[in-house]
Amino acid sequence: MDPIRPPVENYANPKTCFFHVLFKAGALAFYILSTLFFNSFVIIFVVTVLLAALDFWVVKNVSGRILVGLRWWNEINDLGESVWKFESLDQESLARMNKKDSWLFWWTLYLAAAAWIVLGIFSLIRFEPDYCLIVGVCLTLSIANIVGFTKCRKDESDPAFKDLVEAVTLGFD
């Protein structure tokens, strides 16, 4: 080992990282490649949405907690109002989180949503409203996690970040 080069930081939770990426990639790959193998819209819809739902659950309940120390959920109170709940590790614990894990979590979260937007645009251009429905469901699940984790993040001390959170989550209160 070269004493001059610092050691490369590895993923602290490789299995969690694997599953964090697996269902996102699976849903996107199946959606893109499925028309080569299936003529049935129903099969494409069910499998793609199932993979996106599995991704939503894994991100919300497993990888968000392990990779970035954040957790969110939504409850309906006694008045019938939707109430967002957030949990986060303290700043000291968040500072100790693995940077590669955190990087993978945030980038894949945003890139998957961007990919669904691009696929939605392609569906609109090709005049395929059925496939816009699939993209809409998958994009909604991705955006729900983005909104939940972005609101949960404890970077409130940075005014620019606070403004970004308010702009992105406008209307999701």
In a domain, 38, yes or no: yes
Write the pLDDT tens digit of every residue in 93-141.
Answer: 766 777 888 888 999 999 999 999 999 999 999 998 889 999 999 999 9
Share of the chain above pLDDT 90, in %: 41
Q: Mean pLDDT score of the chain, rounded to an integer?
A: 83
In a domain, 147, yes or no: yes
More confident residue, 86 or 109: 109
pLDDT at 158 over 90: no
In a domain, 11, yes or no: no
pLDDT of residue 16: 86
Closest CA to 155 of 94, 71, 82: 94
In a domain, 70, yes or no: yes
Measured between alpha carbons, how far is 155 from 135 in angstroms, rounded to an integer?
31
In a domain, 85, yes or no: yes
3-state secondary structure the chain: CCCCCCCCCCCCCHHHHHHHHHHHHHHHHHHHHHHHHCCCHHHHHHHHHHHHHHHHHHHHHHHHHHHHCEEEEEEECCCCCEEEEEEECCHHHHHCCCHHHHHHHHHHHHHHHHHHHHHHHHHHHCCCHHHHHHHHHHHHHHHHHHHHHHHHCCCCCCHHHHHHHHHHCCCCC
**pTM of the predicted structure, to 2 decimals:** 0.79
Helices 129-152 and 99-125 meet at what angle, rounded to 10? 150
State which of 40-44, 97-101, 148-152 shows the largest mean pLDDT: 40-44
In a domain, 75, yes or no: yes
In a domain, 10, yes or no: no
Count how many domains the chain has: 1
In a domain, 98, yes or no: yes
- At 29, the pLDDT band (50, 70, 90 cuts) reads very high
* Vertex 116 angle, CA 111 and 117, to 5°: 95
Domain containing 98: what range? 18-168
